[in-house]
Structure 1
């Protein structure tokens, strides 16, 4: 009796994808992560390094930006079957503003904005999973995992490019609140120390004040004193990695709960009080709409964990 063999998941084959206007401007790695949903990032980066991914028949690096009309060779990477369990759980985040070009969410602390560095997925992957019909969803900027507050997500390529241009040129205003260790003195202070990225012996990314670093500008204002601690406002005039955290720590006022640049004993003390995050919140955003130019003033209140710890300090300072 002859047996019938049924192949449920046929071997994948090489694909060639032509880039349209909506994909133009994306990095090749980000494009592949969206195209090959469910495939581990390490597999995709290995394929890029090995020359299996090609653009217009040529080898490229992971940071290559696609242009309209490019032809991308996608190697035979196995994609998940339609009936396979979704690897990224969808999530709904508090929406502060949304139209056909932009979503602004109030990101909770403890959630990465994207996958990578030991994190399988983040806000953007979960947002895409929750909106499978969305043609385009891309982060316009980033927040650290332990920072809460306003996060911009573009729904159109034109909006994303306009937001990137605005931020590169220093347009708009991004305001944060931070609780720091120490009795802050000045009502207003401009910090302009240059910042340089470096790697620890274990490969962890860090930032430090260094004359060889990139220009960085943070405006700090005093909001309230709580004895040994101070609540500060911080306005970003540039957008360097860990900028507020490093500027404050280098000035002798580390942010409460900062696990990279803050003191361990302070973090342990606040953890005993039930405060297990970093006290840094992106609470106010003033930007022109990326397509219409209309002024947008968006705000997100301090999360309950932050207000509760301020109430505690008010009673005990």
Structure 2
């Protein structure tokens, strides 16, 4: 085996603006993060022949000197079993693309999922230099999903999500009649683990030390009152909601709506399990939550955009009231 060598890495336009530690993680796959931070702190990593901290932002043309480090011999995950798959494209240019992610597809592999949409898309586009998730959707949620094709676009779009520049609106079908004057849910959320290690989220008191402020806006699109329009009588009295999230917490919509007493149809984590069983018997096997619209600024031109994913056929069939959406 060849001895490790000193590396001199030149920062390109795609990596410009990235933190030094993140740049090193990308180039030193297999090296423990603790070791990366140690060689930065010790000054063995040099930027343009000088010492800098791990949080230093890089500029195109910078030269990073990396000392000899031995990369772990652990085998990298094989992509041989990952199926190549394209998804319906809502928008695409040189900077990013927006796809319509179907329900049942995880956005990435892990937690018992061998591969997700991003790995499948990379397999379908082996020539792509960069394909990175900008944000995430729950596995059972369909709709608009952004994927960056340049690291500069990734950073810019993620900044928009972090700074709440984007507007994300979902369609959700919930049990019961939602009060039309109840338009804002402003309740802190807290993530916790079940005994088996599965992640859950709950509403907590405003003074909870681990509560994260979470704001959800709700607008009633339609009330399901006419039994003649329904294939499934269990949906009578439901409400179709347009839900806009001002914060992007895990399971935010599902938990806020459930806590309000109006669970989402088909939600297997926070829903009404008897109701879900009745819906499954009627042939409706997925959660009625759909990432419908996403407003953003283009990462290069900064032009305002709104992307929209039509309600999938299986949800339109579930609720004829929504055929025109």
TM more than 0.5: yes
Q: CA deviation at 1:175?
A: 0.8
In the alignment, what sits opposite 2:281?
A: 272
In the alignment, what sits opposite 2:251?
A: 242
In the alignment, what sits opposite 1:57?
A: 39
Matched residue of 2:306: which SS?
Answer: strand
Q: Quickly say closer, same or farther: Cα 1:16–1:92, change in 2 above 3 A.
A: farther
Distance 2:2 2:221 in 1: 58
Q: CA deviation at 1:254?
A: 0.8
Superposition CA RMSD, Å:
3.0
Matched, 1:77 2:74: yes
Q: CA deviation at 1:87?
A: 2.8
Matched, 1:260 2:272: no
Q: CA deviation at 1:112?
A: 0.4
Distance 2:294 2:176 in 1: 27
Matched, 1:164 2:158: yes
Q: CA deviation at 1:313?
A: 10
Q: Quickly say closer, same or farther: Cα 1:101–1:313, change in 2 above 3 A.
A: closer
- What are the within-5 Å matches in structure 2 for residues 60-209 of structure 1? 68=58, 69=64, 71=66, 73=69, 74-79=71-76, 86-187=80-181, 189-209=183-203
Q: Is the 8 A contact 1:12 1:77 kept in 2?
A: no
Structure 2 residue corresponding to 1:229, chosen from 238, 252, 269: 238
**TM-score of the aligned structures, taking structure 2 as reference length:** 0.78
Q: Quickly say closer, same or farther: Cα 1:25–1:97, change in 2 above 3 A.
A: farther
Q: CA deviation at 1:251?
A: 0.3
Distance 2:169 2:83 in 1: 31
Distance 1:255 1:113 in 2: 21
Q: CA deviation at 1:164?
A: 1.5
Q: Quickly say closer, same or farther: Cα 1:85–1:150, change in 2 above 3 A.
A: closer
Distance 1:66 1:120 in 2: 35
Distance 1:247 1:187 in 2: 16
Q: Which moved more, 1:276-285 or 1:305-314?
A: 305-314
In the alignment, what sits opposite 2:294?
A: 285
**TM-score of the aligned structures, taking structure 1 as reference length:** 0.80
Q: Is the 8 A contact 1:245 1:254 kept in 2?
A: yes
In the alignment, what sits opposite 2:318?
A: 309
Matched residue of 2:94: which SS?
Answer: coil
Q: CA deviation at 1:16?
A: 7.0
**Structure 2, unaligned stretches of length 5 or more?**
42-53, 59-63, 225-235
Distance 2:274 2:55 in 1: 44
Q: Is the 8 A contact 2:189 2:212 kept in 1?
A: yes
In the alignment, what sits opposite 2:232?
A: none
